[in-house]
Amino acid sequence: MTDAQTVAGEDGFRIALAPHVAEAAAFDGWTDAAVDAAAEVIGADPAAARFAFGGKPMAMIAAWTEAIDAEMCEALPFERLATLPIRERIRALVQFRLDAVAGREEALRRALIEMAKPGNVATATRLGWKSADAMWRLAGDTATDYNHYTKRATLAAIYAATLAVYADDRSEDHEETRAFLSRRIDGIMRFEKFKAQLLKPKGERPSLTRLLGRLRYPAR
């Protein structure tokens, strides 16, 4: 087996374990005890499972995030989203991720606490960026200029905030989270529209002077 195949096998093993680790993390935290419970569920060697994560909570959380990324890409390819307006594509993608953690809110809360620790912020940021990138690509974004980066940074921040709201949402059917997400998506769309206007060639930009002149001296 090549080194690449070994790495791929290890990643696949961690991702297969991850959802079950998350189930157990609600009770055991992101610990080896949760890994042992996950190994039992899938019939894996607990020692091998522990070795795969190295006792590192962030390795467990990263694998859970990657598992959700993979599920999202399989369930919502671009072809399924293409007929929707862009805001609805983003909404559907974020909602899929929220549905994927439904019933595991306590594990999510513990994960968010772990990710907020100073030594874990950089890794958490990379995970958020990767998930945001996957969402924009599934939504059909092909930007390669600075828009590529601003879109992902904005969506990653909104997704992180939405997860925090979701983790503590006690409303029926998570209505508070849905409303929060809708407001944030509207904000993204307004920002993107503003950028598009700002980047138009100078001659195509709306002129404040002309607008004021028309208001003062309307056409007859």
Question: Phi and psi of 70, rounded to 5°?
Answer: -65, -45
Query: Where are the domains positioned within the chain?
Result: 1-55, 77-216
| Sequence letter at residue 73 | C
Q: Give the per-residue pLDDT at 202.
A: 59
Cβ atoms of residues 191 and 154 within 8 Å? yes
Q: What is the pTM of this model?
A: 0.83
Residue 192 neighbours by CB distance under 10 Å = 16
Per-residue burial over 12-30, b if 16 or more Cβ lie within 10 Å, else e, is ebbbbbbbbbbbbbbebbb
* 77-216 placed in CATH 1.10.357: yes
Is 31 buried (19+), middle (13-18) or exposed (0-12) by CB count in 10 A? middle
Cβ atoms of residues 76 and 82 within 8 Å? no
DSSP conformational letter for 206: P
Rounded Cα–Cα distance for residues 139 and 79 (Å):
9
CA torsion through residues 166, 171, 177, 178, sign: positive
pLDDT tens-digit profile, the chain (220 residues): 333 333 347 889 999 999 999 999 999 999 999 999 999 999 999 999 999 999 999 999 999 999 999 999 999 999 999 999 999 999 999 999 999 999 999 999 999 999 999 999 999 999 999 999 999 999 999 888 888 999 999 999 999 999 999 999 999 999 999 999 999 898 877 766 666 666 555 555 555 555 455 555 555 5
Could you tell me the two tokens for 91? Answer: 């909404």
Residue 158 neighbours by CB distance under 10 Å = 21
Rounded Cα–Cα distance for residues 95 and 74 (Å):
15
Please tell me whether residue 54 adopts helix, strand or coil conformation. coil
**Smallest Cα–Cα separation from 128: which of 165, 89, 98, 158?**
158
